[in-house]
Structure 1
Amino acid sequence: MTATTLTKRAGIGCLALLLSPLAWSHPHSFIAMQTTPVVSNDALTGLKMVWTMDEITSADLLYDAGDAGPGSPVWKKLAAEVMANVLAQHYFTEFWHRGKAVKFDNLPPSYSLARNGAQAVLTFVLPLAQAQPLKGQTYTFSSFDPTYFVDMTWKNAQALSLPEPLASRCKMTLQTPQPDAALKNFALSLDKADAPPESMDLGRQFAQTVTLTCL
Structure 2
Amino acid sequence: MKIALITFTLLFSTAAWSHPHSFIDMKTEFISDNQHLSGMKMVWTMDEITSADLLYDAGKAKPGDVVWKKLAAQVMANVLGQHYFTEVWQDKNRVKFLNLPKEYNLSRNGNKAVLEFIVPFGEPQLLSAKQYRIQTFDPSYFVDMYYDNPQALIMDDTVKSHCQIELHTPKPDDSLKQYALSLDKADAPPEDMDLGQQFAQTVTLTCH
TM-score normalised by structure 1 residue count: 0.92
Deviation at 1:121, TM superposition (A): 0.3
Contact 1:37 1:46 in 2 (8 A): yes
Aligned identity (percent) is 61
Deviation at 1:13, TM superposition (A): 5.9
User: What residue number does 2:36 align with?
Assistant: 43
Match for residue 55 of structure 1 among 35, 48, 51: 48
* RMSD (Å), alpha carbons: 1.5
* AA of the residue aligned to 1:204: Q
* AA of the residue aligned to 1:111: Y
* AA of the residue aligned to 1:31: I
Q: Deviations over 1:135-180 (max 9, x none)?
A: 1211111000000000000111001011122323311100111100
| Aligned: 1:92 with 2:71 | no
| Aligned: 1:187 with 2:176 | no
Q: Deviations over 1:100-158 (max 9, x none)?
A: 11110000000000000000000000010000110121111100000000000011100
User: What residue number does 1:135 align with?
Assistant: 128
* AA of the residue aligned to 1:107: L
CA distance in 2, matches of 1:13, 1:128: 26
CA 1:96/1:13 → structure 2, altered by over 3 Å: closer, same or farther? farther
CA distance in 1, matches of 2:107, 2:161: 32
* Structure 1, unpaired ranges of 5+: 1-9
* Structure 2, unpaired ranges of 5+: none
Deviation at 1:191, TM superposition (A): 1.2
* AA of the residue aligned to 1:63: Y
| Aligned: 1:115 with 2:105 | no
Contact 2:164 2:205 in 1 (8 A): yes
| Aligned: 1:178 with 2:165 | no
Match for residue 66 of structure 1 among 55, 59, 71: 59
Number of equivalenced pairs: 206
* AA of the residue aligned to 1:47: M
User: What residue number does 1:148 align with?
Assistant: 141
